[in-house]
């Protein structure tokens, strides 16, 4: 498929693979992780984000809205999402930038043209293109085509994924991937389903497949651990993941992704509730010492930790 739905192209990305990279954010994800910091990436359609804190109640969006989704209720401007057709009219008229339309359709060529703009920066730094999101495999044909075209232009390719996809598709896309960043949310399949909505069997199977068949070089694979205190930071899980990684290849590295709340405010703008708080109390952002302790634990088990 030549067209994809993305919600951002971010240049000078430095956390998503080596060197200076351009990160393309795919919209759509089969998982619903409780701690997701990009909630605007989950749905596979464009949506409106409405930042109430920037709204001054001028009502221009109400006038512009063709369906009445934007309306005044009790003196405040509200957005009735079931009436919203994401036409974006409100976005254009809002003088305070309180409305954003997240998600737009692009062709592979359009994305590639943007990615090519930083070629000189990639060359110098060993950087390139990273596809993330959302879940790149939720639009496998688009992702595959984009990676292949990037390769043809000698651009280094990376993918950030949950690996929740069919092995056939994975194999097909990995052919064009130089660097892999894959999440393991939890080693226990029941807990994994509780926290993300899906089981982890497919994920673990795919990681094993990739390493076994050298679809990506082991030293270009980073397993990422979202570290959510009191949720998935118990020793059993950490040791379980460590054992799993060790069973793959000694070159596979692990990167810790400490929990943060910097995406929390986006939920309200999307008309969603923050799911983590619904299920758990006692959530906190880990301190430097906490993270270091976990890194030490994993190191002592023989795991190669990526320094962040």
Partner 1 sequence: MLQRGFTGIISDVERGISEISLSDPYSFKKRTFLEAVKIIYEGALNFVLRYSRLAETLARNEMDEDWRDELLKIAEICENLSKRPPQTFREALQLVWFTHLILHVESNGHSVSLGRMDQYLYPYFKKDLEEGKMAYEEALELIKCFLIKMNTLNKVRPWSETKYKSGYPLFTTITLGGQTSDGEDSTNELTYLILEALAEVKLPQPTVILRVHSKTPDELLIYAARVLIRHGGGLPAFFSDEAVIPALMNIGIPLNEARDYAIAGCSEAVIPGKSLSFTGGDCYFNLLKILEITLNNGCNPRNGVCLCKATKDLDELRSIEEFIEEFRKQLSYYAKFIVPLTSITSAVDAELNPTPFASSLIDYRINIGADISEGGGPNSKYSNTIIQGHGIANVANALYAIDELVFRRRLITLKDLRTVLLNNWEGQQGEKLRRLVLHLPKYGNDIDEVDRYATIISKIFYDEIMNYKPFRGNIFGLSLQGLTANVPEGEVTGATPDGRLSGEPLADNASPHPGTDRNGITATLKSVAKIDHSLFINGNILNVKLHPSTLTDSFGNIDEKKISRFINLLKTFLIDLKGFQVQFNIISADVLREAQKDPAKYANLIVKVAGYSAYFVTLDKKLQGQIISRTEHVF
Q: Which residues bind partner 1 (CB under 8 A)?
A: 10-12, 14-16, 19-20, 37-38, 51, 53-54, 93, 95, 97, 100, 117-118, 120-121, 123-125, 127, 257, 260-265, 268, 288, 307-308
Provide the 10 A C-beta neighbour count for residue 62: 17
Pick between residue 15 and residue 175 the one whose CB is nearest to partner 1.
Answer: 15
CB of 94 to partner 1, least distance (A): 9
CB of 141 to partner 1, least distance (A): 25
Nearest in space to 96 (alpha carbons), one of 47, 52, 65, 66: 52
Pick between residue 58 and residue 209 the one whose CB is nearest to partner 1.
Answer: 58
CB of 127 to partner 1, least distance (A): 8
Q: How far apart are CA 306 and CA 308, in angstroms?
A: 6
Pick between residue 188 and residue 255 the one whose CB is nearest to partner 1.
Answer: 255
Pick between residue 6 and residue 215 the one whose CB is nearest to partner 1.
Answer: 6
CB of 239 to partner 1, least distance (A): 25
DSSP string, 258-291: E---TTHHHHHHTT---HHHHH-S---PPPHHHH
CB of 262 to partner 1, least distance (A): 4
CB of 22 to partner 1, least distance (A): 8
Q: Provide the 3-class DSSP secondary structure of residue 245.
A: helix
CA distances from 293 to 159, 187, 237, 242 (A): 28, 20, 15, 15
CB of 160 to partner 1, least distance (A): 9
Q: How far apart are CA 100 and CA 278, in angstroms?
A: 26
Pick between residue 215 and residue 254 the one whose CB is nearest to partner 1.
Answer: 254
The residues that bridge with 107 in the sheet, in sequence order, are 3
Contact between residue 267 and residue 49 where contact means Cβ atoms under 8 Å apart: no
Pick between residue 131 and residue 211 the one whose CB is nearest to partner 1.
Answer: 131
Phi, psi of 9 (to 5 degrees): -125, 115
Q: What is the DSSP letter of 301?
A: T
Pick between residue 4 and residue 132 the one whose CB is nearest to partner 1.
Answer: 132
CA 274 to chain centre: 17
Place of tokens 């976005």: 91
Tokens matching residue 207: 């990681």
Q: How far apart are CA 226 and CA 156, in angstroms?
A: 25
Pick between residue 145 and residue 266 the one whose CB is nearest to partner 1.
Answer: 266
CB of 244 to partner 1, least distance (A): 23
């Amino acid at each position: 498929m030549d067209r994809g739905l993305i919600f951002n192209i971010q240049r000078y990305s430095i956390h998503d693979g080596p060197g200076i990279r351009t990160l393309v954010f795919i919209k759509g994800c089969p998982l619903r992780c409780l701690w997701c910091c990009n909630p605007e990436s989950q749905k596979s359609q464009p949506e409106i984000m409405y930042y109430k804190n920037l709204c001054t109640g001028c009502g221009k969006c109400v006038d512009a809205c063709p369906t009445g989704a934007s309306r005044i209720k009790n003196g405040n401007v509200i957005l009735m999402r079931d009436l919203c057709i994401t036409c974006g009219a409100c976005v254009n008229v809002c003088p305070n930038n309180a409305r954003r339309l997240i998600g737009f359709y692009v062709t592979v060529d359009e994305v590639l043209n943007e990615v090519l703009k930083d070629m000189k920066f990639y060359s110098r730094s060993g950087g390139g293109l990273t596809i993330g999101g959302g879940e790149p495999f939720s639009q496998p044909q688009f992702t595959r085509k984009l990676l292949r075209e990037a390769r043809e232009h000698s651009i280094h390719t990376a993918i950030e994924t949950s690996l929740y996809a069919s092995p056939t598709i994975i194999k097909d896309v990995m052919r064009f991937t130089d660097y892999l960043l894959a999440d393991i949310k939890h080693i226990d399949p029941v807990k994994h389903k509780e926290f993300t909505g899906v089981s982890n069997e497919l994920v673990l199977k795919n990681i094993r497949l990739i390493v076994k068949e050298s679809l990506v070089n082991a030293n270009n694979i980073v397993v990422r651990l979202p570290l959510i205190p009191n949720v998935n930071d118990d020793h059993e899980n950490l040791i379980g993941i460590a054992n799993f990684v060790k069973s793959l290849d000694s070159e596979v590295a692990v990167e810790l992704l400490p929990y943060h709340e910097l995406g929390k405010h986006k939920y309200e703008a999307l008309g969603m509730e923050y799911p983590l708080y619904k299920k758990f109390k006692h959530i906190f952002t880990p301190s430097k010492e906490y993270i270091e302790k976990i890194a030490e634990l994993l190191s002592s088990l023989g795991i190669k930790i990526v320094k962040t």
